[in-house]
């Protein structure tokens, strides 16, 4: 006979321990904006106020049609704006379109002289041009062996997806959707996409070029190191309460980087935001 089961032995299965809930990864852009608001309140507002005091208020105006803006922005990559202007003028004369002429309204953030009045190039002819020929035309912008195929691939992608070369449809899209659409084109990053969307449609986006980056890191509006991809979104989070200030933020910072806060020998003594700048005082409030 088998022994009777002991009264103390339980037949129920031990309860499974409740699983620890995984914490959602913090959004680095939001985390940065919150940290800045907490430890350095009003830093962005004070910076804009100070810069507006010396450079004046910045009011948005479209500076060029969106397709021209995109190609001009590709031409400005890794070169001075004046060189990109020369290459764009060369495109206009090598591939004339006969379309209506337009003015280039460069505004304070532009580093060149501004394009002369003229019709946009014939984009179909630019796309179909022999690659070596197009390289010769855009040579003044530098990196012509990369920029010419990038321009043709960009125009091809726009035409294949939209049926023509117009980018006016981006104005009706939500800003981040439009940025994603443009960034899906090989060679177009967040910066180039944001330039087009900000300057052509006043979409609240923040392109971070080398001037904006340098000034922002020195003051402490951005952390000492990127990545730049996240920095673009850090600014969106910082401007979440006042997205309509994106244009003036971009233009004032870029202008300050050109005029006073240059890479070499920044003129701290002329700078209206030095009392809050971590480059001159690592403990600045």
Site residues (vs ligand SF4, CB under 6 A):
215, 218-219, 260-261, 266-268, 271, 273-274, 277, 279-280
Instruction: Name the nearest CA neighbour of 66 among 196, 203, 207.
Output: 196
Name which of 239, 238, 217, 215 is nearest 226 in CA terms.
Answer: 217
- Do residues 208 and 216 touch, judged by C-beta distance below 8 A? yes
User: Which is nearer to ligand SF4, 136 or 217 (by Cβ)?
Assistant: 217
Distance CA 63, CA 41 (A): 33
Distance (Å) of CA 16 to CA 9, 10, 12, 253, 260: 18, 16, 12, 57, 64
User: What are residue 98's phi and psi, to 5 degrees?
Assistant: 75, 5
Of 94 and 284, the one with the shorter C-beta distance to ligand SF4 is 284
- Taking the complex as a whole, the smallest distance from the CB of residue 217 to ligand SF4 amounts, in Å, to 10
- Alpha-carbon span 161 to 181, nearest angstrom: 11
Sequence-distant (6+) residues with CB within 8 A of 21 are: none
Give the shortest CB-213-to-ligand SF4 separation in angstroms.
12
Answer for the pair 212, 276: CB distance below 8 angstroms, yes or no. Answer: no
Report d(CA 237, CA 248) in Å as an integer. 16
> 102 pairs with which residues across the strands?
118
């Amino acid at each position: 006979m088998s022994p009777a089961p002991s009264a103390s032995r339980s037949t129920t299965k031990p309860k499974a321990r409740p699983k620890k809930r995984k914490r959602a990864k913090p959004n680095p852009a939001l985390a940065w904006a919150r940290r800045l608001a907490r430890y350095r309140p009003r830093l962005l507002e004070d910076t804009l106020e100070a810069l507006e005091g010396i450079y004046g208020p910045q009011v948005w105006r479209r500076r060029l049609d969106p397709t021209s803006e995109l190609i001009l922005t590709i031409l400005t990559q890794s070169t001075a704006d004046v060189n990109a202007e020369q290459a764009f003028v060369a495109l206009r004369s090598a591939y004339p379109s006969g379309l209506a002429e337009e003015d280039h309204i460069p505004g304070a953030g532009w580093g060149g002289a501004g394009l002369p009045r003229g019709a946009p190039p014939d984009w179909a002819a630019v796309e179909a041009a022999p690659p070596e020929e197009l390289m010769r035309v855009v040579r003044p912008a530098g990196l012509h062996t990369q920029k010419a195929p990038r321009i043709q691939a960009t125009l091809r992608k726009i035409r294949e997806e939209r049926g023509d070369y117009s980018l006016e449809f981006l104005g009706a899209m939500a800003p981040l959707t439009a940025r994603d659409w443009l960034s899906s084109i090989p060679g177009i990053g967040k910066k180039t996409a944001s330039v087009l969307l900000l300057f052509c449609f006043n979409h609240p986006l923040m392109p971070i070029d080398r001037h904006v980056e340098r000034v922002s890191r020195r003051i402490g509006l951005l952390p000492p190191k990127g990545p730049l991809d996240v920095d673009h979104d850090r600014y969106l989070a910082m401007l979440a309460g006042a997205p309509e200030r994106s244009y003036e933020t971009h233009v004032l910072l870029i202008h300050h980087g050109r005029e006073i806060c240059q890479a070499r020998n920044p003129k701290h003594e002329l700078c209206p935001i030095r009392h809050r700048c971590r480059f001159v005082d690592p403990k600045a409030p």
